[in-house]
Chain A
Amino acid sequence: MSEPILSLSDVVVAFDALRAVDGVSLTVPRGQRRAIIGPNGAGKTTLFNAIAGVLPPTAGKIAFDGHDITRLPPHRRARLGVSRTFQITNLFPRLSVRDNMVLALRGRSPRKFSLFGKSDVDGSEGSQIDTALEAVRIAGRADVMVNDLSYGEQRQLEIALSLVTSPRLLLLDEPAAGLSPSERSMVAEIIRSLGRDITVVLIEHDMDLALGLVDRVTCMFEGRVLVEEAPDEIRRNKKVQEVYLGRPRHA
């Protein structure tokens, strides 16, 4: 538990003049559940993109599990065990649920380079897929086309794709976005049941949902870290309340 699994120092991501992430430093210990909250446009998704490698930081440093990953492309970070879901559902819509899972599973296996071999799922792949689909409660839907899934089921698959590879860091970008209250509590249950060998960073607007799940909360505002506290303290924090009520003070 000594060394943190993820640490960011002074990370900046700029889109021309806009510094969407503006000097964020952050340390997440192994096994922690961390929430990142903040109003729309605070830079939460951009921060995820920097950690996952989609947007290399303009400045700063990112270390994962002892590796400097600041300049690594996304697929190399995935192979180290960084896994993420997308705020806007990002699946393979014209493939079956099972084929989606097969692709997720083989991203880190040499079998993806089998040019003329049979595509059949082997025993251990099959059981990993079944386990992940059961974990997100869509086990009965493996042979359905993703296009034919309900929106809620697609959000569940979104989580399953990032879980099946047994990642060490799971980045969840608003996994409950757009879901009904009962679906939201199911997503909360899925996250709660994850093993502590997975470190989880969760972006979530819904404070009640997020604060009930995590050990620690980082609140972002205008690209910066506003506060970092335990869930109980965050509830009472004046600055956080102001930001959420839309009456920000300008520094």
Chain B
Amino acid sequence: MSNAGSAPIKIAGLTGRSLVVVLLVLATTAALPLVLSNYQLELATEMLIFGVLAMSIDILSGFAGRTSLGHGAIFGVSGYVVVYASAQAGFSPAAAILLGVIAATAVAIIFALLAVRTSGVYFLLLTLALGMIVWGICLRWTQVTGGENGLRGDVRPAFLAGHRAFYWAVLAATTVVSYAMWRFVRSPFGLTLLGIRDSESRMKSLGYNVPLHLFIGFAVSGFFAGISGALYALFNNFVSPSTVALEQSVEGVLMMIAGGVGTLFGGFVGAAAIIALENVVSAYTERWQTVLGLTFIVIMIFAPDGIIGALRAILPRGGLARERYKD
């Protein structure tokens, strides 16, 4: 890690020391159920699930340079399908999860077909509008979605019913998914997304079909958001229009920004910070949205590179900051 100041993208594999850090973080998080209360453990589970959502958004924001406000909808569609498939259609939990992730990926593919030729604020607004359509469908298609009442169903298999067992299962899934996302952004394909972020016109003149790369990037990102949504369905046993609403997308984006755009694992830091804050705040006031907005302004002013970025600036070169976020 002596070369921490150089190209952040070029770290090909885990070196000896970062491997130790990864194992330490995993051991610590795996030991949490031994010290936390059930309630705190639920919060930790939620942090892991939303960390995955924030990371999936970061694949597009931090790497392809496009911020999506439609990922809450992709996440929520997965949740709806998982609950519907298991509680109404009688599928096994595994099959329901699979269907949920497939549905989310399909929605992401539709979004991608429409959005890949745009960038900047147009991309933002187009994904926002597409997300609103999904929200509208979930609200109005009452026979299937239950409308405003949402869908309830016990999705979790019996062996995951306990708080601890479920936490460990989510931790294991999160670890695998995080590793996959890390490999993805560091792959030759991931590098092409960084190229698109920096200069689309140069990429085209080098022979890249830029919309095709964005399309694949969006679909992969949606796939991961779908996994996060499926985990959420298992966690919550309930989905409603608010699961697919704009607030969900915004919260995912804020978690990603709070952690640090382009840091990938910052997603967990951001999710943890915002979920913790939400909990503290809700003890004192009902106005969580206001507090969230204010928090966001404070982050933008004092730590525009997110918590990871701020830590990196404060801690000495090659110090912990860089290794922490690798989870």
- Which residues of A approach B to under 8 Å, CB–CB? 52-54, 73-75, 78-79, 83-84, 86, 90-96, 98-99, 102-104, 106-108, 111-120, 143, 145, 161-162, 165
CA distance A119 to B183 in the complex (A): 9
B205 and A117 contact, CB distance less than 8 A: no
A118 and B189 contact, CB distance less than 8 A: no
CA distance A143 to B205 in the complex (A): 23
Q: Nearest Cβ in chain A — how far from B127, in angstroms?
A: 22
Q: Nearest Cβ in chain B — how far from A88, in angstroms?
A: 10
Known contacts being A115-B189, A165-B207, is A95 close to B194, with CB within 8 Å?
yes
Choose from A90, A92, A93, A111 the contact partner of B188 (Cβ within 8 Å): A111
Residue numbers in A under 8 Å from B201 (CB-CB): 54, 86, 90
B207 and A115 contact, CB distance less than 8 A: no
| B190 interface residue per 8 A CB criterion | yes
Interface size class of B (residues with CB under 8 A): 20 to 34
B6 and A75 contact, CB distance less than 8 A: no
Residue numbers in A under 8 Å from B205 (CB-CB): 52, 54, 74-75, 78, 83-84, 86, 162
Q: List 9 A-B contacts (CB under 8 A).
A: A83-B205, A86-B202, A94-B198, A95-B194, A106-B192, A111-B188, A115-B220, A119-B12, A162-B205
CA distance A124 to B180 in the complex (A): 28
CA distance A115 to B220 in the complex (A): 9
Known contacts being A94-B194, A95-B195, is A112 close to B6, with CB within 8 Å?
no
CA distance A83 to B206 in the complex (A): 7
B199 and A115 contact, CB distance less than 8 A: no
A119 and B198 contact, CB distance less than 8 A: no
| B296 interface residue per 8 A CB criterion | no
- Which 5 A-B residue pairs are closest in the complex by CB-CB distance? A107-B207, A107-B206, A78-B207, A92-B198, A74-B204
Among B18-26, B107-115, B208-216, the stretch that binds chain A is B208-216
A92 and B195 contact, CB distance less than 8 A: yes
Known contacts being A99-B7, A103-B192, A113-B189, is A93 close to B198, with CB within 8 Å?
yes
Choose from A74, A104, A119 the contact partner of B190 (Cβ within 8 Å): A119
Q: Nearest Cβ in chain A — how far from B221, in angstroms?
A: 12
Q: Nearest Cβ in chain B — how far from A111, in angstroms?
A: 5
B209 and A102 contact, CB distance less than 8 A: no
Residue numbers in B under 8 Å from A113 (CB-CB): 188-189, 216
Residue numbers in B under 8 Å from A74 (CB-CB): 204-205
Smallest CB gap from B206: residue in A: A107
Choose from B10, B184, B195, B202 the contact partner of A115 (Cβ within 8 Å): B184
Smallest CB gap from B220: residue in A: A115
| B203 interface residue per 8 A CB criterion | yes
Most B Cβ at <10 Å: residue of A74, A108, A161: A74
Known contacts being A112-B192, A116-B187, A119-B191, is A107 close to B7, with CB within 8 Å?
no
Known contacts being A99-B9, A116-B180, is A165 close to B206, with CB within 8 Å?
yes
Q: Nearest Cβ in chain A — how far from B264, in angstroms?
A: 14
Choose from A73, A94, A99, A161 the contact partner of B202 (Cβ within 8 Å): A161
| B186 interface residue per 8 A CB criterion | yes
Most A Cβ at <10 Å: residue of B184, B207, B208, B213: B207
Smallest CB gap from A97: residue in B: B7
CA distance A107 to B9 in the complex (A): 19
CA distance A74 to B12 in the complex (A): 31
Residue numbers in B under 8 Å from A91 (CB-CB): 198-199, 202
Known contacts being A90-B199, A161-B206, is A96 close to B6, with CB within 8 Å?
yes
Known contacts being A95-B7, A96-B10, A143-B6, is A79 close to B207, with CB within 8 Å?
yes
Smallest CB gap from A90: residue in B: B202
Q: Nearest Cβ in chain A — how far from B255, in angstroms?
A: 23
A108 and B6 contact, CB distance less than 8 A: no
B204 and A119 contact, CB distance less than 8 A: no
Give a binary string over B312-327; 1 marks a CB under 8 Å from any A CB, 0 the rest: 0000000000000000
CA distance A52 to B207 in the complex (A): 11
